[in-house]
Amino acid sequence: MTDRLAELSAAGVAVWLDDLSRARITSGGLDALRREQHVVGVTTNPTIFAKALSEAADYDAQLRELKAAGADVEAVIRAFTTDDVRNACDIMRPAYDASGGVDGRVSIEVDPRLAFDTEKTIAEAEELWRLVDRENLFIKIPATLPGLAAISEVLGKGISVNVTLIFSLERYDAVMAAFLSGLELARANGHDLSKIGSVASFFVSRFDSEVDKRLDKIGTDEAKALRGKAAIANAQLAYQHYEQLFSTVQWDELAAAGAHPQRPLWASTSTKNPDYRDVMYVEQLVAPGTVNTMPEPTIHAYADHGETTPNIAQASYAQAQVVMDSLAALGIDYDDVVAVLEREGVEKFEASWVELLATVKAQLEAV
């Protein structure tokens, strides 16, 4: 029987799970995914935690202890999330060791309400790094303009970073520049560059969701023919930018000092439109040195019928550019699309955080 996830991994794509809950940890389910499904990392976000805390009784005993100790809502959330991430880091530690610190990473996000506050983001990142206290942790920082400076500063402190909510090629270039600046700062501060990891989470399916709405409004046959093509083209061109930047002299010098490259991480890769192939955002973005973080149903779908074509992303640059040029010719404003997506991305995570606060507040009151 074909091991399709093994083929994907062999093509250079690290398979990560985009989900976490206490039940996954205590049941052994997360460890089973690592051992049996080639899962070598975990990403979380406020939406994932809001769902986990609202649906399970796994947190009840800890909730009672925290309430007895006088913890407020924020302290309870901090304890729940950092405990889960710490335990997930321990489960993923074999993948971390086997990959020389490249994989086996687990991400936890700074409070999304701080997305436009550089200094508070830095402080929160340091606090989360201290609380979780695992070297295979990633601190997620959004790629807002204020977030860019925070990314460099946090990396400069020797803290590994997952940069999230990247939608545009221009912002991706800025993220990679912030990564290099952060490594230069870390080296100046005396940190071991080989211990610092980073990924850049480039969001995929949401791009199609927004562009397809605009194509449907145009309504011509030419517009309809471009539905479902924008997101993959955008991500493929992002990989081209990655290849260009990580072949520079500046990077070569950092690599010689022990640094690992900041890998592109394809995020939001479950297919939102049921008319599209359910693994298209995995199949079309196969490229060496990348990460694809997926919800468990997408992992199982790929294991069942995913087709791996090595280096397909690199072979598609010219075609991807044609797609983007065709969208522009139809009047699709790329800059407006990515601005809307960034604003909505931050707002969605803020809304999830508010939902998380309300859920825990109600649970505290009910104890």
Strand, coil or helix: 11: coil
3-state secondary structure of 15: strand
**Conformational region of residue 192, where left means phi above 0, alpha means psi within -120 to 50, and beta covers everything else:** beta
Q: How many CA atoms lie within 13 A of 158 on its CB side?
A: 12
Task: Give the Å distances, CA to CA, from 292 to 52, 130, 282, 285.
Answer: 22, 27, 7, 9
DSSP H or E run through 81? helix 73-98
Q: DSSP secondary structure string, 118-138?
A: HHHHHHHHHHHHHHH--TTEE
The verdict on whether 140 is a catalytic residue reads yes
Asked whether the CA dihedral 227, 233, 238, 241 is positive or negative, the reply is: negative
Q: What is the DSSP secondary structure assignment for residue 311, as one 8-state letter?
A: T
Please state, as a whole number, how many other Cβ atoms lie within 10 Å of the Cβ of residue 362.
11
Residue 359: other Cβ atoms inside 10 A:
19
Amino acid (one-letter) located at 207 = F
Measure the CA–CA gap between 163 and 141, rounded to whole angstroms.
5
Q: One of 51, 67, 120, 140 is an active-site residue; which one?
A: 140
Helix orientation angle between 60-68 and 334-366, rounded to the nearest 10 degrees: 70
Active-site positions? 140
